[in-house]
Structure formats: C-alpha cells, structure tokens
A and B are shown apart, each in its own frame.
Chain A
Amino acid sequence: MADYKKYVCIICGHIYDEAEGDPDTGVKPGTRWEDVPSDWVCPECGAIKEDFEPA
C-alpha cells in the first residue's frame, strides 16, 4: 500500500490529499499529484498547481 502525500496551496492553505483526490472536479481519490490535470485549480482560491507545495 503506497503512502499518499499531501500538497498545500501556498496562497490559501487548502490541502490536496492524494488519498482523497478532489471528486467535485473529477479527480478520483488516490490520484497522485503528478496525475492531477495541469489545468486543475485550487477549489478554494483558484491557484494553479504550481502554487502548491508538499505539505
């Protein structure tokens, strides 16, 4: 069982948890950060993936 990582939005603090994904935008639970679409944005503030860092 691989360990899932978390990434935090540096603008608003929202956490992307690989284990949970982001179902509201079609990102299934268990989706690795690399596999999250490049046009995905932070659901809280609209920041892009480049504005996230490992939590």
Chain B
Amino acid sequence: MHTVVIGSGIGGVTFAQELLKRDAQEKVSLLTYETHGYYSRPLLSHGFTRADIETKIVMRSFEALSEQGINIASGVEVMRLDAASATLVYREGDAEKTLAYDRLVLVTGSGALIPPPFVPQSDMFYVLNSLADLIRLRQLRAKIAAAGKTPRWAVVGGGLIGCELASDLSVAGDKVHLFHAMPRLMERQLVEEDSQALVVLLKESGISVTLDCAVNGFEVNSDSYAVVYDGGRSPDFDCVIVSCGFKPRIELAKQAGLAVGRGILVDDFLRTDKENIYALGDVAEFSDGKVYAYVTPIRNQAIWLAEFLAGNGSEAWMPPFFKPKAKVHGFEASYPYKF
C-alpha cells in the first residue's frame, strides 16, 4: 500500500516515522514545500536569542528522513488533488508530476493570518510562520545591527505568537512596541490575572505595549515604517511584524471538494469526508470546532493515526492532557491556559 503525506512539520514527519515503525513494508511518501529539512516550529519563537538557531532548529535533514525509509519530495508544491481517482499533481521545479495514493494524510498546518485591511500592504510587513521567515528576519536584523543601530520593531497582534516574538526580540537587545486590538494580552489563552502579570513583565523588560489598539495599516518613508491606528500613528520602526493568528491551509482540500470549515473537517478517527483521506495537526478541525495547534496533541494524533492505519487501533482519538505554554522569557502563568 502507498500512503502519501503532505506536510513536513511535526505532524507529518511523526506520522510517517510512526507508520513505518509499525509496518516496514508500507510505501510512505512525503511531499513538502519546505527546503530546510524537518525543523522545530516551537523554536522559531526563540529565533533571535539563540545565535546557533538556524542550524539547531533543524531536527533532521530530509536526507536523514529518506534514510529512514520515507520517500521525500521537498521544495514541491501540490497543485491539485483528485479524490475520485486517488491521485494528486505536484510541481517540482518546472515539471508537473502525478502521484497515486492508497491513503492520503493532509498535514499542511497553517500559515499566518493576515487581517484583510493589511493584505494590500503585504510588502510593508513580515510574518514569522516558517524557518524561511525567520532567516529573512534575522538577516534584516543583522543588517541594521551592522549599521550600528538598535533595531526598532513594531509587533502587531498580542496573542501567543506576538507576545513570544516581542519577548524574544527584547531579550535579544532590540526595541519593541507591541500593539494589540483587545484590552488585554493573550486573552484567548490566559485569565485576566495572568494577562496583567504578562503585560507588567513585558513592560519591565522595556517593551512598549499599546492595548485596545485598532491598527488600520502601515506607512513607509525611506526605510522607516509607521503603524497607523484609530486616533493616531506610531512612526520610526525599522520593521513591522504582523502576528494576528494562524489560518489553516485548507486550499487544496477545499478545491478538491472536501468538507472544510476553518480547517479541514475530520471525525474522531481523523477521517475527512472523502474515503482514504485523513487530516491531522493544526489544519484539522474536529466536530466541536477545535483545532489543535500545540505539539503535544499533534504528536499524539500522528501516533494515533499510525496505529489506526497499521490496523492496531479501534478506539477513536481522544485529546491527551496537555499544558500549552507561551515561550515568553521569564513568564509562568499562575492559572491553566484556556483552550
């Protein structure tokens, strides 16, 4: 049998490895647009405070994964999926190739969510969603530092990623101004008391924080950026990073006619509504509307699905107990995170 996996994040690679462990005869192929190897997404949040991050963040090269028996096609883009014929088409360089599967597992994860008003100004800001994004940001940062200046960052969006990012840049020695539309930081994960402790911690480390701030867009003048919001503007930034959430990559599934909501809809056995097609990780949305975007449940889903497809499991997947944690330097929540 041929199982094809799309995506080389923790979900996709863990699933491929675990399936092969249970059935060494299975042919497992993995397609990914990534080119840097299998790397840790959580460590992107400490991408500025660790000098060796660009090498350390890669857990396994694609060559090493190939040696484990996974047929990897990297730097490719899956163009379309045909559920009826159980084939997909992907582009590799200039060539378009067709691949047939017996089972398909969609682990495409999510990209950065860009609020619609910002979309026309996409050339004015960065996001931090991938290692390629981190490398670009580190290069920009190095360029500013090489000119003898302290980088000044605007981080728009004070959710989990925005707070981690602001914290890491500040600890690395840069000037950071964090803008958030809501009255308190990380309001989706933290209770009020922990949001207060967080904002105190960030301010004490030199970060400027503006809450209740509806950012409308950006302006650029030479190499200096301004953040424009209801009631004013905040100028003189070297760079703007938008961290307003994540958006599951459902385009391929949607175009192929699979049922989608915010994510690709799956049942408790990680099945989509098309036969032999599964989804897991932060692209998958369960019937209760939940999307799991943390390593612990994602790894758990990947291992569960390997068991299930190897013929070993019969019970539905149940989310494990897990403790989400923001990687904000020096911050410990007093209460459990909401999820």
Contacts and interface: CB of A to CB of B under 8 A. Distances in A.
A43 B320 CA distance: 13
B46 interface: yes
Given A11-B42, A12-B40, A13-B43, A46 B299 contact: yes
Interface in A3-43: 10-13, 43
Contacts of B295: 11-12, 45-47
Chain A interface, DSSP helix/strand/loop, else mixed: loop
Contact of A11 (B40, B320, B323, B325): B40
Given A10-B40, A11-B10, A11-B295, A43 B46 contact: no
Given A11-B10, A11-B59, A12-B295, A46 B43 contact: no
Interface in B1-60: 10, 40, 42-43, 46, 59
Contacts of A44: 323, 325
A40 B59 CA distance: 20
> Which of B59, B299, B300 counts the most chain A CB atoms within 10 A?
B299
B46 A13 contact: yes
Interface size class of A (residues with CB under 8 A): 10 to 19
Contacts of A46: 295-297, 299-300, 320, 322
Contacts of A12: 40, 42-43, 295, 327
Nearest to B322: A46
A46 B325 CA distance: 12
B215 to A, nearest CB: 30
Interface string B303-339: 0000000000000000010110101000000000000
Contacts of A13: 40, 42-43, 46, 327
A46 B295 CA distance: 7
A10 B59 contact: yes
B132 to A, nearest CB: 19
B17 to A, nearest CB: 11
26 contacts: A10-B40, A10-B59, A11-B10, A11-B40, A11-B42, A11-B43, A11-B59, A11-B295, A12-B40, A12-B42, A12-B43, A12-B327, A13-B42, A13-B43, A43-B323, A44-B323, A44-B325, A45-B42, A45-B295, A45-B296, A46-B296, A46-B297, A46-B299, A46-B322, A47-B295, A47-B299
Interface of A: 10-13, 43-47, 51
Q: Which 7 A-B pairs have the closest CB atoms?
A: A46-B296, A45-B295, A12-B42, A11-B40, A10-B59, A46-B299, A13-B43
Interface of B: 10, 40, 42-43, 46, 59, 294-297, 299-300, 320, 322-323, 325, 327
